[in-house]
């Protein structure tokens, strides 16, 4: 059975979708959700779905081996970032080489980098009058949103769309594609 650990910072709709997708799977399951925000709704969602949920602070994440040791004990086959906002430490990336992926709410390399997350991305897409946007699932490396691209899916941006409209379209793409891509990676 393949083991998935999810990192998230916010509401956790992508995490919940992944947990539910793999709930009855014979091949994989989400074994843990970790968050840098002790008040994140994702922790509540995970607990309701009987998945271990823990929060940690910046010291545990990047100054000590606390989070690294939690991951070593969990033995994940894949670490999935689903709305996780901190840059991943190099020691964790080194320990879990090519096992950390992220979903980004734009078609990278456009609208990536520090500070480009959530509504910031959608507002920039609308402000620049883009005709399309989408999601990018990519491996995580030591730079924000620069890891090797695994998968992209696009959607149209209509001239009357606002940032909220774009956010809803992106959310649909994430719900549809993210679990399938995770499953495919685990089966490779």
**Alpha helices, DSSP H only, in the chain?**
13-22, 41-48, 58, 66-74, 90-95, 118-127, 163-187
Split into its structural domains, the chain has a count of 1
**pLDDT tens digits along 10-33:** 999 999 999 999 999 999 999 999
CA 69/CA 177 separation, integer angstroms: 30
**pLDDT tens digits along 109-136:** 999 999 999 999 999 999 999 999 999 9
Domain that holds residue 37: 2-187
CA 165/CA 167 separation, integer angstroms: 5
Q: Which two tokens stand for residue 135?
A: 């999601």
Q: What is the CATH number of the domain that holds 26?
A: 3.40.50.170
Residue of 83, 60, 87 whose CA lies nearest to 71? 60
**pLDDT tens digits along 133-177:** 999 999 999 999 999 999 999 999 999 999 999 999 999 999 999
**Alpha helices, DSSP H only, in 23-117?**
41-48, 58, 66-74, 90-95
Global pTM reads 0.96
């Amino acid at each position: 059975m393949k083991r998935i650990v999810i990192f998230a910072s916010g509401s956790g709709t992508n995490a919940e979708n992944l947990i539910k997708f793999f709930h009855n799977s014979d091949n994989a399951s989400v074994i843990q959700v970790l968050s840098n925000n002790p008040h994140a709704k994702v922790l509540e969602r995970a607990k309701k779905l009987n998945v271990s949920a823990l929060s940690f602070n910046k010291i545990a994440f990047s100054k000590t081996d606390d989070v690294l040791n939690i991951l070593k004990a969990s033995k994940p086959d894949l670490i999935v970032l689903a709305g996780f906002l901190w840059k991943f430490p190099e020691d964790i990336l080194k320990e879990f080489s090519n096992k950390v992926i992220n979903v980004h709410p734009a078609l990278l390399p456009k609208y990536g980098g520090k500070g480009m997350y959530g509504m910031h991305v959608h507002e920039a897409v609308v402000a620049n009058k883009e005709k399309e946007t989408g999601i990018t699932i990519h491996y995580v490396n030591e730079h924000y949103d620069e890891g090797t691209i695994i998968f992209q899916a696009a959607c149209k941006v209509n001239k009357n769309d606002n940032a909220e409209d774009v956010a809803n379209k992106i959310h649909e793409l994430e719900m549809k594609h993210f679990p399938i891509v995770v499953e495919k990676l685990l089966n490779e």
